[in-house]
Amino acid sequence: MPRGPFPDDECASFPALSHSWKEECSAYCQGTVHFALIPAYTETGAAMGGLTVIVYNPQKTLAGKIFCRMKTKLEENGFEVVPCSSREQRLPKRVEESGKKVEFAVSLGGDGTFLSCARKFALNPVPVLPVHLGTFGFITEVTHYEWEETLDAWLTGKLEVESRLMLNVEVYRAGKVAAQYRGANDAVVSAAGISKMVRLSVELGGYEGGRFQGDGIILATATGSTGHSLAAGGPVIVPPMDALVLTPLSPFSLSWRSMVLPSSDEAVIRVDRHQRVSVQLTVDGQELFPLEEEDEIHVMGIPDSVRIIKSNRRVFYEVVRNKLGWSGGVNA
């Protein structure tokens, strides 16, 4: 299938690329290297003729190289490819203006890049192929040397999609919605700046959950349960379980413990009056909103809002064992 040259500014959009990487990237993009065409996709793969959005971390040199190779491969199979930096808050206008359906997306980076990608498609979820170029990579299980084989398997209908829930987070101020976010990992209400205790009230499923004094409270999805919540003593929730975990951060009262909640139960965190420190809301470690006294943060799980293309190479329990070092030895 004929294709035009890569626009001059797209390779240049990867500031981390060295000169040699840019030359190789340009060679791929100009069509010097070709890939074999892939046969028609089954119903579990992606339909031809649509869009593929590739969300990349511009600080990763390898992201530029893989992006250009992947773009060429997809275009030869009938896809229009749209690049999008993980730093952008929204999808490029080109996605809407094309009038085409986004068949699937790819994240090139670490877990943070995947979270950025998931939020961009929060209202219209599409399957996401997460390629790991980061440091830890709990969510992004496809390594940089497996992406091509995994992409072929997806396009030929050999891989399945796992659905996970996402957080819907709304901040109410004086009875009106002051801010709204979607998060795939977690929402954290904590002190901003100098480390002092915050005072919060918690309501769970419409019932009083208690008063809290400490560093803050985390509400995490199963996806986010292996992050900040786990470090604070919370449990690991196995995806794709539709559950939330509430984890206190350094509670003044030692009786406060983590709690697993049904995703259908709304959790409300109120910022009490007479705070001695500024309070903030952080979503996925990437979105920040300053809170005021008497603000209410309403958090609820939205099922099937994140769709992950599974590589079939690893199961969650294996990932947990390897990433968390549960080897049983002295170095575990």
Residue ranges with strand state E in 144-221 = 161-173, 176-183, 186-191, 198-204, 207-214, 216-220
pLDDT for 2: 34
DSSP code, position 182: E
CATH of domain 8-160+310-321: 3.40.50.10330
pLDDT of residue 48: 64
Residue 164 in contact with residue 182, Cβ under 8 Å?
no
Spans of all domains in the chain = 8-160+310-321, 165-305
What pTM was estimated for this model as a whole? 0.82
Q: What is the token pair recorded at 79?
A: 């896809």
Residue 56, CA distances (Å) to 97, 105, 220 in order: 21, 11, 24
Phi, psi of 199 (to 5 degrees): -115, 120
Say what percent of the chain tops pLDDT 90: 67
CATH 2.70.98.50 assigned to domain 165-305? The reply is no
| The two structure tokens encoding residue 19 | 């000169």
182: nearest Cα among 292, 270, 271, 304? 304
297 contacts 268 by C-beta, under 8 angstroms: yes
Q: How far apart are CA 155 and CA 42, in angstroms?
A: 8
Short-list 179, 149, 156, CA closest to 313: 149
Pick the range with the lowest mean pLDDT from 12-21, 107-116, 255-264, 275-284.
12-21
Peptide bond preceding 240 in cis form (omega within 30 of 0): yes
Say how far apart CA 61 and CA 77 lie, in whole Å: 25
Instruction: Return the amino acid letter for 293.
Output: E
Tokens in use for 166?
A: 């996402």
Hey, what are 141's tokens?
Answer: 């299980």
Q: Distances from the Cα of 50 to the Cαs of 90, 143, 185, 250, 274, in angstroms?
A: 19, 25, 28, 48, 54
Contact assessment for residue 297 and residue 190, using Cβ atoms and an 8 Å cutoff: no
pLDDT at 50: 85
Does residue 5 carry a pLDDT above 50? no
Task: Judge contact between 30 and 3, C-beta under 8 A.
Answer: no
Cα Rg of the chain, angstroms: 22
Q: For residue 188, what are the contacts with CB-CB under 8 A and spacing of at least 6?
A: 216, 217, 218, 219, 228, 249, 281, 282, 283, 285
299 pLDDT more than 80: yes
Mind listing the pLDDT tens digit for each residue in 16-57?
444 444 444 444 444 444 333 333 333 356 656 689 999 999
Model pLDDT for residues 267-280, shown as the tens digit of each residue: 999 999 999 899 99
**Digit-coded pLDDT (tens) for 243-252:** 999 999 999 9
Kindly list the catalytic residues: 111
Answer yes or no: is pLDDT of 139 > 60.
yes
| 177 C-beta neighbours (distance < 10 Å), count | 10
